[in-house]
């Protein structure tokens, strides 16, 4: 009795994001067999830096002050100090960078800190005046995951099925540290190897003048064999909130949406979010999402009798 039925005259723009758009499609039995597949992100490893001076400290901005008062806000970072793109040894000739470094100065808040420490109170203590954060992100991951409908609660959050699930990763000696958890399988071995190159680069950078003696990496891979070092990376790799790919655009008949972002089995619906992006961009995805949204809007406008007049 509480249901409300709304019938569109021209079409529907679906923009619930790469996690919830496939949930809605699965619950509606739309989109075909590829809905929810191809989920991927820019997996990231956060590294804590200890500085020898307080000169880099910034007074926390409005976001930090607001969150400290106990209010919940959207995650956001109040500015970035510096970033860089790197090419690992795995990059093919003329290929773009496959690693991204982002430095957050002391006093800045960053969601990855909450994830690492699993405690908001501790995360606020993380950014003392001599602590900073650098994140090492993988731009072209091989690992793929999927979204499934929670049949016991179809209106609730969807289920995320991680792709890499090799149980030997979490057994000694491959995972010798207590930090290793079975719920952090966001990367494959090949992904972890590329991330490790970025982590080693940061360590070398801190040992190079003028940074040597001024900056030290607090957390770093164990100086043991490659197996243990890769296990260290896998245990610390986190999601980066750059999810794409779960209602991917393509030319195949079983791709979820076509080149105009229309559902192949229900062309009155266009997907206007990151779920339509088939392969993650080399860097933050916001600009690409805007392009997708603009294309979806144009697809809907074409159904209007005034479209030709506007063009």
pLDDT at 305 (0 to 100): 64
Alpha-carbon distance of 168 to 157, in angstroms, equals 29
Which position has the higher pLDDT, 186 or 136? 136
* Bridge partner residues of 137 (DSSP): 44, 100
Tell me the backbone φ, ψ of residue 101, rounded to 5 degrees: -105, 140
Q: How many CB atoms lie within 10 A of CB 67?
A: 18
State the pLDDT confidence band at 174, using cuts at 50, 70 and 90: very low
Q: How many CB atoms lie within 10 A of CB 265?
A: 12
pLDDT at 278 (0 to 100): 97
Q: What is the mean pLDDT of residues 57-72?
A: 49
Residue with tokens 């002391």: 106
List, in sequence order, every beta strand (DSSP E) within 87-144: 99-104, 131-138
pLDDT at 30 (0 to 100): 94
∠ CA 224-199-84, nearest 5°, is: 165
Q: Are 187 and 234 in contact (CB under 8 A)?
A: yes
Residue 243, CB half-sphere, CA atoms under 13 Å: how many?
24
Alpha-carbon distance of 301 to 295, in angstroms, equals 10
pLDDT at 41 (0 to 100): 93
Helix (H) or strand (E) holding 27: helix 17-28
pLDDT single digits (tens) 6-25:
888 778 999 999 999 999 99
∠ CA 179-40-96, nearest 5°, is: 100
State the pLDDT confidence band at 108, using cuts at 50, 70 and 90: low
The number of helices, as runs of H, and strands, as runs of E, in the chain is 8, 10
Alpha-carbon distance of 109 to 306, in angstroms, equals 48
Q: How many CB atoms lie within 10 A of CB 94?
A: 5
Query: Is pLDDT at 176 greater than 50 in this prediction?
Result: no
Name the range with the highest mean pLDDT among 63-67, 70-74, 79-83, 239-243: 239-243
Q: What is the pTM of this model?
A: 0.81
């Amino acid at each position: 009795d509480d249901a409300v039925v709304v019938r569109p005259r021209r079409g529907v723009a679906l923009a619930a994001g790469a996690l919830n758009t496939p949930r809605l499609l699965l619950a509606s039995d739309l989109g075909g067999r590829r809905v929810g597949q191809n989920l991927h992100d820019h997996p990231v490893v956060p590294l804590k830096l200890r500085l020898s001076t307080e000169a880099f400290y910034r007074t926390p901005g409005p976001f930090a002050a607001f969150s400290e008062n106990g209010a919940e806000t959207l995650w956001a970072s109040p500015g970035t100090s510096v970033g860089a793109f790197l090419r690992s040894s795995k990059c093919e000739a003329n290929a773009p960078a496959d690693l991204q470094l982002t430095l957050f100065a002391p006093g800045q808040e960053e969601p990855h800190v909450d994830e690492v420490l699993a405690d908001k109170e501790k995360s606020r203590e993380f950014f003392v005046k001599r602590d900073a954060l650098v994140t090492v992100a993988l731009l072209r991951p091989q690992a793929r995951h999927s979204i499934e409908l929670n049949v016991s609660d179809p209106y609730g959050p969807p289920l995320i099925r991680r792709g890499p699930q090799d149980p030997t990763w979490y057994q000694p000696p491959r995972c010798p540290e207590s930090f290793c958890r079975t719920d952090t399988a966001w990367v494959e071995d090949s992904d972890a190897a590329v991330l490790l190159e970025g982590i080693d680069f940061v360590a070398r950078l801190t040992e190079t003048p003028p940074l040597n003696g001024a900056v030290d990496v607090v957390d770093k891979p164990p100086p043991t064999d490659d197996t243990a070092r890769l296990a260290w990376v896998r245990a610390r790799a986190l999601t980066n909130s750059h999810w794409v790919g779960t209602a991917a655009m393509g030319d195949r008949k079983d791709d979820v949406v076509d080149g105009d972002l229309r559902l192949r089995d229900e062309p009155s619906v266009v997907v206007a979010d990151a779920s339509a992006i088939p392969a993650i961009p080399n860097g933050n995805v916001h600009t690409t999402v805007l392009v997708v949204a603009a294309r979806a809007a144009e697809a809907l406008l074409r159904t209007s009798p005034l479209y030709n007049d506007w063009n």
